[in-house]
Amino acid sequence: MNEMAVNPATGLTAAEIQARRSQGEGNAVKLQSSRSVGDILKTNVFSPVNVVLYAIGAGMILVGDWRSAVTTVMLVLFNAVVGIVQEVAAKRKHDTIALLARTTVTVRRDGQEQQVDPADLVLGDILVINA
C-alpha cells in the first residue's frame, strides 16, 4: 500500500489498518523492562566482593580452617540473598510504575481522533500533535 494515499482529514479506516497489520506494516515496539531476575541473581552471587570472599573461603578450606571457611561462605550467601531480595522487589515496583506511566499516541482514524498504544500504530497513521 502507498502511505501517501491516506486522507489527512479522515486518516486510515479500520479495514486499512487491518490490511497493513497483515502485511507487516505495524509498529514493533519493544517494551524496555528493568533487569531480568536471572541477571539480578548473577550480579549478586558473582559480585567482585563476593568472588574475593569465595576465594578467601576456598583458601581457608585448603589450610584446614573449616570453621572460618563456613562462616565466610555463609556471610557471602547472606549478602547475596539480601541483595537479591531487595533488587527483585525494586524491579517489580519499577515494572509496575513503568506499565502505569506508559504513553499513548493520538491518531486520526475513521475521521476521529483516538488514543492508541504506540504498538498499535501502523504505517500511514495520521498522528495528531498538540502544542
Quick: pLDDT tens for 85-128. 999 999 999 988 888 888 889 999 999 999 998 888 999 899 99
Is the Cα torsion angle 67, 68, 73, 76 positive or negative in sign?
positive
User: Where exactly are the structural domains of the chain?
Assistant: 37-100, 104-131
CA distance 51 to 128: 54
- Beta strands 105-109 and 126-127 are antiparallel
Structure confidence by residue, pLDDT tens digits, 15-51: 898 988 898 888 877 766 778 999 999 999 999 999 9
